[in-house]
Amino acid sequence: MIEIDIEKENKAIAQEYKELLRISYQTLTPEDKKLIRKAFDVAVEAHKDQRRKSGEAYIFHPIAVAKIVASEIGLGATSIAAALMHDVVEDTPTTVKDIERMFNPKVAQLVEGLTKISLVQKDMNVSMQAENFRKMLLTLNDDVRVILIKIADRLHNMQTMESMDDYKQVKIASETLYIYAPLAHRLGLYNIKTKLEDLGLKYTEPAIFKDIVSKIKETKEEQDAYIKDISDIIKTSLDAEGVEYIIKGRPKSIYSIRRKMKAQNVSFDEVYDKFALRIVYKSNPHDEKFLAWKIYSIVTDHYRPSPSRLRDWISSPKSTGYEALHITVMGPKGRWVEIQVRSERMDEIAEKGYAAHYKYKNGATEESGLDVWLNLLKEALENSESSAVDFVEDFKMNLYSKEIYIGLAEKVFSIFI
């Protein structure tokens, strides 16, 4: 039996809590901090006798989920508090009414939504799972933050599955690839989507995952040198033009490399665009578009572009709110390289998804693609009389597409544009 140093563990818990406040994407007022502290105290007390399968104190899990909510999704104090208490009602005698009395109706509503999702997901039957998933999406009618916190919860569970039985790992990973990764993608949470996909692959195809990881490590030095060569040339021209920017090298995800190997029936060595460069530039709103195309011009002065692979999501943003210019150019040694061009604002929306999208909305009344999608999704959920399994299949298929939903009688059709 593992002996636990309680004093050391308590210090680690306190440290995690401080880190949560420090990394919050939004500025926390004294009132916000008070709310978060109270939620933390309730969660610590409620979970004090619980441990995870790994043996660590259970409270580390809700704190980790709250950290993802605060820094990677960018939600505020109400959501952070709900994330800290997301398992309290399910696992302890505390009720939703207790939380409403201690906090406020909004925090209680979020915790209740998260509790419902956890309870329905325990059913192993496929059609029941599908029906429960439809019910879970209906929480969008109350507050989309329930889904966002649930995605954070799923990410942390995926990151800490080592102690679980193999069959449970495969079940959870398969469900993650089937539902949660596409959902994160559709809500603009690209970083989280990538992590969920890579972790999903780690448990569903472990041998392939390990093989790709080891090959990426073997070629890392060569790839870094290649990225530096390209970056240095582009930097000289950007500096000469007085553009304020940073350049980041970004390897393709393990999952996307695997997908490409499968789709094109090629080996790891034959996947050439295994990394991308991202140029993030400073700009005022007025000059954003002009500067993006100026950078495009600078890049293509040095490297020949592939016109068929140009993606202009600045003139026509994705329905998730994503904006960027993606240029694929022929780099040194005859290798294709993707270069992504984004302003700081675009980069923030790409990193934080839904939350950053609203930060920049500034009270605008015009509905964005994401708002339209959420509203039409709600209608589809309420009106659909198709079987739950069919509904989930249709829903998943449409997650990756730019679509318009049209309600006709009880059926939802998708027109791809």
Write out the catalytic residue numbers: 90-91
Closest by CA to 68, choosing from 137, 124, 9, 149, is 149
The DSSP code sequence of 142-178 is: T-THHHHHHHHHHHHHHHT-TTS-HHHHHHHHHHIII
With 0-12 / 13-18 / 19 or more C-beta atoms within 10 angstroms meaning exposed / middle / buried, residue 9 is: middle
Three-class DSSP category at 29: coil
Tokens of 232: 């240095």
Q: In the structure, how many helices (H) and strands (E) does the chain have?
A: 19, 8
The 10 Å Cβ neighbour count of residue 349 is 26
Cα 76 to Cα 24, 81, 410: the distances in Å are: 8, 9, 37
Cβ atoms 14, 44 nearer than 8 A: no
Q: How many residues does the chain have?
A: 417
CA-CA distance, 362 to 417, in Å (whole number)? 28
CA-CA distance, 150 to 62, in Å (whole number)? 11
CA-CA distance, 215 to 8, in Å (whole number)? 38
Closest by CA to 134, choosing from 405, 414, 395, is 395
Measured at the alpha carbon of residue 363, what is the angle toward residues 361 and 365, in degrees to the nearest 5?
Answer: 95
Closest by CA to 81, choosing from 91, 66, 94, 102, is 66
